[in-house]
Structure 1
């Protein structure tokens, strides 16, 4: 079966050097790239190259968007290549995070042609994993800032309000292999390494010009995710990252078995932004006892959204759909009053005090007196979050948006 590797990164020179090294290691590799700089005009520039061709095609899409590009051209092109070449590298546009693309590869049905039944891309190719390219001298600054993609020239779409930090962290966190554009220099080297040790502990780090066959995701351990998105209720710590402090980098593990007061949490939520590289986890608001909310921050950007329901109070069909792992974890931690409801957050801090964040979050939990007042009283509490929320804060949007990065438990996204 044709092997597929997804390659991402914002450092164009580093990505091209990585591609050149891949072609040295495997002269028969095919590189497929869709340049999205004209996406706002409904145009996508496709490039397909191997040892004896370099084809460039301009595609016109009826609806200029990333999902249309994937559905209408990326998947059919992979179907045409499947079985005819040994290895394909899907080089993503710099503005793309790999997780939603990999979700599409494994979940979006399409008709490959030639009379074949509808299938997914991973039915036709072997998705080996994700490779992310980063510059170790600038990555940490990118991953902790609040500049938006349009401000950095990485996106021309007016509705794209993601931060560079969200992109930088999302690319590195989901990678099975990290390729560094240069040896880590002395300035901030220890701190960057410490952050990467905690953000993507299972990913080996290679140099762009001297990468070995691991750049094709060969020889990775069983802990490698290989492009498979996680679920909302998966463990928040993957790959046993170090928990002790290193070069000022510390990890916060926050857990609690009582609901948050929405208004106080809104005041405390900024503590997960300043000095924090990444925060992610599940929260439970007193005003919506059935809803799982997913929190995800990177640098100065945050997403909070509806991510399904708790099993507490759910019917038999919800338990059946939950999957073995989630049912087992819920049963092990079952609370006589709250069931599986819980607060679980992890934050990687590079310039913040985890103890102060912990204190701010615990102060946002309901007090004993508020819990004693009962759930009927909780419904009257002020709730500024709506069903989807952004930080820095604007008016909450009373909608539920589904993020296609999770297969079993769609995560709400802003």
Structure 2
């Protein structure tokens, strides 16, 4: 079994166990927070992820790409300067975020200490990103897989113990505990990464040969990090806006704000939690594809590039189609694990195109990043969100459509994204759209 397939299956195996735990986490949260509390949780989560995206600066991708494309003797030198760079970035983002939160009270309806917890999250994310990029670039997928499992297991354990031992009558306090637990998992992962990294320092320093200057290393890292961060940042901003857009459209359609919040909670906290359960495989492909495609592209291995695309699409078909069929026909018993809600059943069934095309879009985006076509992936994402948000607002605000319009917009947006990614890749590596085989040119 080649390195790409082996790494993918290691990641997928651990991610499957992690997603099972994540499923239990969402069940615990749904029952403890209630419908409105779950809506509040899902509303603030994109803001936290937005801050994490900026602090992360997509260093896992840029570092893993650097390691895959350069000789191992240059790795220690790069890691040293990547750590210095991450320190400067985290300090800058910490003070910028502090100023932004002081000017715009995003967390005014939440526990007063929440913003300080989020601020402490920033340096943890930055240093964790450096080490995650190192292990990914070295194809040490076992460490990445174990870290993903530890994150979910720690979160479930703390939530279960705290909510069993204490009864919180205040929703704000329950939300604070839930978010603190989520953020605390990253600190645990950082500790695990650090211990593992220290044990490998002797191997890393063997044959150490700094060929690149610090400025060249920063330039190479930023050459990937900045456009990739722009892509992730755009997605994070859109995800942060989306809850307010959806709820505003639903209010315009005639719903009360409380009703809109509850429907949003059903959509994201239940239907999307179930629908994205199989996406662990897509994200495993993403992590494994970037260094594999980067290495093949750097060595001009056209057959390997074609093979990687074919393998990733075949694996997505193999798990994606059965997953969607199972979710569609077992929608009611699955949603009943969270709430007894006919709306959640309908949302899960109606969103099947959204989930299926998302499974394809994730590895395709990773493939584009590996090829160095991050800007193309960015433009595709912009167009897909323009389509999605326009349809969601226009259709969702209609009295006789409401949530159906929201779902139509979500489905259309991800279809546009997937098609644009796929067509671009086929053109770049010169393969047929239908057979994924190299085109032959007649002279």
| TM-score normalised according to structure 1 size | 0.26
Q: Pick the structure with more helix per residue.
A: 2
Higher relative contact order, structure no. (Cα contacts within 8 Å, ≥ 6 residues apart): 2
Q: Pick the structure with more strand per residue.
A: 1
| TM-score normalised according to structure 2 size | 0.25
